[in-house]
Structure formats: structure tokens, C-alpha cells
Structure 1
């Protein structure tokens, strides 16, 4: 058979490949039904994440937001690292897309464990899914344990201040708190990788905040956008913006003495360095992009 007559790559053994996929799917279901699968101390289910949850998020990542990833080589191939990113978009889709970006693009196939707000773990269903995806409480104890285990840990220090800021303040970083993430990285001796995300700000342009409704529901804010709540559930569909996620050069922390984690001036300087690097990259990416949607 000549090369021209060869079947295209991926079509060879088609029936056998289909049978293997079916067998793999049945084996996966059997493990789920019998409980023959593992979760770690935080509730992270790696198999479910790889086989199901990432598959559900991937169409949003690839087709809807068309995420472009830069600087993935700045994430270490092994060992702990703290990825610090800006936060925006009214709903925390940026964290999920950052997880897919690392999972699908890192040559070592690494997984990103996100630190999430208390509210995430108070919501039914969301709580369970977040745990399965590897999210855990945004506290120093959990972050330290994960870093010491050699995990990639993601944190968005702006918190709700960044997520729920008005559209007029888009891409202006909010306060980064007291630098707790820097202290955690210093204690673990792990590098800090700044991450800048462009595109999330425009998925739900927040033009107002119904504070009374937010208080009644126990939410930090209740967004009003050009489509929500006026269009009901349809108004909750995010706009199909074009995203870019850039991972910056890591900032090493292993050269500092153990007591450095208690030095407030060092905390301030390192926090400001990370924040400025993220902000500078955001401005650069905004200048480079052609359009919000393309």
C-alpha cells in the first residue's frame, strides 16, 4: 500500500479504538458505582476531573472564549508553585479557565488547585463540584499543605473586590490584601508565578449593584448588567469574548531566610512586585488585542 493509500492517522483500528473507549467508559462507571476510586484529603477527585469535569469545561475554553495561552513554560515542571492572577467577570469563570489552561497546555500535564472563597463551599452542588475539581478554602493552612505536597496552587488575591467591581473599573487591579499569599510562598520556599487574564472583564459588564438584594441573599453583590436581570435566565449567558491568559516569569522565594515570612516590609514589597507585574502585563495585552470579541 502506498503512502497515499494509507488511512489517515487516527482512523487505523477504528473499531478497536471505539471498543477500547467503550470499555474504558464502562470501567469508569463501574468504579464510580462501586466507590473504587480515590480522593485526597481535600476532596479532589483527579479521575473525575480528567475524564468528566475538564471535558465539560473544555468547549467553553476552546470554542466559546477561544482562550489563547502564553508563557506556560514559566510554570515549573515539578514541585510546588503559587500562581497569582487577577480576578474579574462577576462570576468566577476566570479561575476555571485558568485550570483548563494549565491542565491542557502544560507539557508535564500538571493540575492547578485553586483557593476559593468561603461562599463557594456554602452553595449546594457548587460545593461538591468545587471540591472534586481540586478547589479548597482560601486559607494559609490549606495553601501551605498543598505547596508542601508539591502542588500548583492558584490564588486570586483581589477576591470579591475584583470579581464584583464595576465595568468602568475593568482591568484596574484592586487591593491585594495583606500579602498572605506571599508569606505562604516564602514559608514553603516556592516560586510565585504572576498570571494576567484578559477577556473575563467583559463577559458580564456590571453596570450596577443591587445591594439590598445582595444582603437578602447573603451575597457580596448582586450584579446588574445590560442583559441581567432584564432577560431572566437568558441574561445570565456570558458574552463570547476572546480571552488571553499569560503566565509571567516566576519570582523565586527560596533565597530568603525562614524569618522573612514575618517581615511586613518584605511582604509589602513582594506583594507590590507581583501586583505591578500582573497590571503591566494586562496593559500590554490590552494594547495588543484587536477586539473584545476577536
Structure 2
């Protein structure tokens, strides 16, 4: 939570007929702050100071993947939470399908041109299921120094079988977007139509780890940056998978980077247990293909159902 630096105007003189209100009890619209607002501000300041003391004293832990729960809770999540609660107004469905403990692989659709869906999913799981979601990210994320560093601080890691297996073996809840950049960068005309789910690597990982797959449908991300064109020569020059043109970017410059305030819904499907397939199923390409296709069909059907439930995108 951000704490606004405020200063009293004790030395100012009152104009005739006017009354000076100290800024610590007033809002910018001239009305007094209520007890709840003042209490929230004081808690925010106290929380920020406590965080700084812990960092200076070294009283925090970082795991083998670089996950820093203290930094994530104090810095990363509050920023994402503001979008989650006030901008996208996220609604959750099927939260009981997220296990309270133990390893599981959460498999979701990916979209939005800029992948904010991963951030919103992390907030949802952290705040409402009381678990850390360890997302598996593309190589490009970790090739960018600042983004890669922050991603690891938030508990995420490279989308490779070894890291995924280690996390699942520790009983973590791991999240993956099998569509990758094909999903997040698809044209607006193809919204909510799932792309290919890779080669089934996530299914092999779940089979070897003996954990269930939880299908997840995210509705709302497709409308935040509607991609209407792609400057591929510029994308190749910058080493990016695509360079999007949207109705607001680059036409409006930096203002065009503000996501549109679409209404979001996130639905968690029933866990898909994999024990029945046996120990050697991960080495059978046909079994892996069939499970992959089944997961994809589940997520696609959940998307259609959730779209109908949400209704208009911006109301």
C-alpha cells in the first residue's frame, strides 16, 4: 500500500470565512478523512517501515529459486492487487477446486498482448486460496534483467521440466500457460480461441510428479490491449515475438500503455487426477497427447461458459 507524504499547514493563516483543515484529516476533495481511511494510512506507513527494518536487518528468507515472500507481499502484490480489485474487478469461480496444500499443476489460457493474466492469477491464489502460485515463464522473461529479477522475487521460474519437477516435489502449486506467446500475442479477432498447447511437456511433468492438473479459464484479459496489427520487422529488430498495434498504442503514446478496464472472471475447474495412468504413462507419447488434448478441451469449454456468465466486457 502506498503511503502519501503529508504535511500540516499549521503556520498558514485562515482566509476570511474559510477554515483550514490539516491534511492528515482531509482528502484532496476537501472532505475529512474517516477513521477507516486514517487507520489504513497509518497501517500502510507502519507496514512500510517494518518492511524496511527487515530488509536492513536481513530478516527475510529467499529460497533456491530466488523467491522472496517478504518482498513479494510488501512490494509486488500490492501493485498488482490495485489492478485486481479496482481496475479489473476480478471475480473468482470454483475456488474450492484449488487444493489447500500439496503439489498440483494449474493450467490456464494465456492472452492479453501484455501478460497481466499471470499477475492477476497470482493475486487470486495468494489472497483467496492462501497459497503462493509458482508460475513457469518463457525464456524471454528471464533474458530481461529487471523483469527476470522481479519474476524470481515473486516466486516464478523458467518453464523447464527440471524446475517444475523440483517445485512440485516440494508440494508447491505450480502454474503454466501452455499456449505461450502464441496465446498472449494472438490477434483480437481470435480472442478466447485456444492456440496449440505446446507438445504436452506440462502433462509429462504432472505424470512424473504424480500430481493433479487443475484447468483454469481466465476471461477479461483479451480486451485489455486489443491487438489489431503486428509490426513484425520491428519485433525482429527488438528480439520480441511480436510488436503489437492496438487502438490506443502507439497512437496515444505512453497513455496507450494503460490497459482497458475490462471485467475479469477467473474459473478454477475440477482437479484432473492422473494416478490411473500408471508410472510409465509419461513415456507414452499417445497417452501424453490424449491427456493434453483433454485438458485443452476442458479449458476451452470453461472459457465459453465463463464468457456467457460475464456478459459485456466493460460493465
TM-score, with structure 2 as normaliser: 0.85
Q: How many residues align?
A: 280
- Alignment deviations for residues 121-159 of structure 1 (CA, whole Å, 9 cap, x no partner): 111321111111111000101000000000000000000
> Following TM superposition, by how much is the alpha carbon of 1:36 offset from its aligned partner in structure 2, in angstroms?
2.8
> Following TM superposition, by how much is the alpha carbon of 1:289 offset from its aligned partner in structure 2, in angstroms?
2.1
- Alignment deviations for residues 45-80 of structure 1 (CA, whole Å, 9 cap, x no partner): 011112221111111000000000011110111100
Is 2:98 the partner of 1:75? yes
1:221: which partner in 2?
242
Could you say which structure has the greater relative contact order, defined with CA pairs below 8 angstroms and 6 or more residues apart? 1
Is 2:106 the partner of 1:60? no
Distance 1:74 1:32, change over 3 A: same
Is 2:129 the partner of 1:103? no
1:4: which partner in 2?
none
Distance 1:188 1:210, change over 3 A: same
Write out aligned runs for 1:76-225 (5 A): 76-106=99-129, 109-225=130-246
- Alignment deviations for residues 243-277 of structure 1 (CA, whole Å, 9 cap, x no partner): 00000000001333211110111101110111000
Distance 1:61 1:20, change over 3 A: closer
Write out aligned runs for 1:246-261 (5 A): 246-261=267-282
The gaps in structure 1 that reach 5 residues or longer are 1-10
Q: Which 10-residue stretch deviates more, 84-93 or 24-33? A: 24-33
The gaps in structure 2 that reach 5 residues or longer are 1-34
- RMSD after superposition: 1.8
Aligned partner of residue 262 in structure 2, secondary structure: coil
Alpha-carbon separation, structure 2, partners of 1:216 and 1:18: 46
Alpha-carbon separation, structure 2, partners of 1:19 and 1:67: 27
> Following TM superposition, by how much is the alpha carbon of 1:285 offset from its aligned partner in structure 2, in angstroms?
1.3
1:285: which partner in 2?
306
Q: Which 10-residue stretch deviates more, 83-92 or 26-35? A: 26-35
Q: Which 10-residue stretch deviates more, 25-34 or 274-283? A: 25-34
Alpha-carbon separation, structure 2, partners of 1:18 and 1:168: 44
TM-score, with structure 1 as normaliser: 0.91
Aligned partner of residue 292 in structure 1, secondary structure: coil
